[in-house]
Structure 1
Amino acid sequence: MNDILIVDGYNVIGAWTELKALQNSDFERARDLLVDKLSEYQAVTGWQVILIFDAYLIPGKETKTKKSKIEVIYTKKSEKADQKIEGLIRKLQNVKTRIHVATSDMAEQWAVFSQGALRKPSRELIEEIGEIEREIKKSTTNGQMTQKVKIELDEATRKKLEQMRRGF
């Protein structure tokens, strides 16, 4: 069985205290941090992850990109994330695929459920990602206390290192 997780990006950011606070000061960084967290989720679960953002903040035609093996879709100007999610369910649904949709929008949860997809409230996804992060931290430290060293980097160096880390 192939599992696909479709994430309503702005809905999850709005439900995630840390990302919601970051969104107010650095919108792009909040989106990037969500991609990073979903990338870890994808690596652990093995699920395909598709992240959808409404284009109401980025007018124009639909754009698709790949970031850390996460497919990121910005809807076209007149299209809501909910519409895109429902269209993707119709396109991707088959007997070998189980589709999960992460959103806190109750109307959208019922719409995707009626199409045969599984509902995953944003809070549940956030809790699962938190558990994955705790497990990763626990396994990498083997229960030992580690001393953290923070090295200040300029933005250009940070971006270059991030590109190297992600392999592009």
Structure 2
Amino acid sequence: GNVGSAEKIHNINVVYTKEAETADMYIEKITHEIGKKHRVRVATSDNLEQIIILGNGATRLSANELLQEVKLAEKTIMDIINSN
């Protein structure tokens, strides 16, 4: 009976899909809706999902690439904090 919900946390949209809707289904739907007009990046290591989202106008990065970006951002933040 979950109807789904969304919330914005620090300028990031967090979506809880409705019952019987998978995350992949939501990602495919939303990239199709907004991928042609807005910049959309999807982090997934699922090859089929990558093909679908690329066809919808989004860009992709693997889960490992996302992890590396997060680690680099953390290091950059710590360097800034430690330099003050």
Letter of the 1:133 counterpart: E
**What root-mean-square deviation, in Å, do the aligned CA atoms of Structure 1 and Structure 2 show?**
1.7
| 1:67, distance to aligned residue in structure 2 (A) | 1.9
Letter of the 2:35 counterpart: Q
| 1:139, distance to aligned residue in structure 2 (A) | 1.2
Give 2:11's match in structure 1, choosing from 57, 69, 91.
69
2:40 aligned with 1:99 = yes
Moved over 2 A (4+): none
2:69 aligned with 1:132 = no
| 1:90, distance to aligned residue in structure 2 (A) | 1.6
SS at structure 1 position matched to 2:60: strand
Larger radius of gyration: 1
Identify which range, 105-114 or 133-142, moves more after superposition: 105-114
Residue pairs, 1:1-168, within 5 angstroms: 60-95=2-37, 97-142=38-83
| Structure 2 portions without partners, runs of 5+ | none
TM-score, normalised on structure 1? 0.46
Output the CA distance in 1 between the equivalents of 2:50 and 2:36: 19
| Structure 1 portions without partners, runs of 5+ | 1-58, 145-168
Provide Cα deviations, 1:82-139, integer angstroms capped at 9, x if missing partner. 11011111211234x2221111112111111122211110110110110010011011
SS at structure 1 position matched to 2:27: helix
Higher RCO structure (Cα 8 Å, ≥6 apart): 1
Output the CA distance in 2 between the equivalents of 1:100 and 1:71: 13
TM-score, normalised on structure 2? 0.87
| 1:70, distance to aligned residue in structure 2 (A) | 1.7
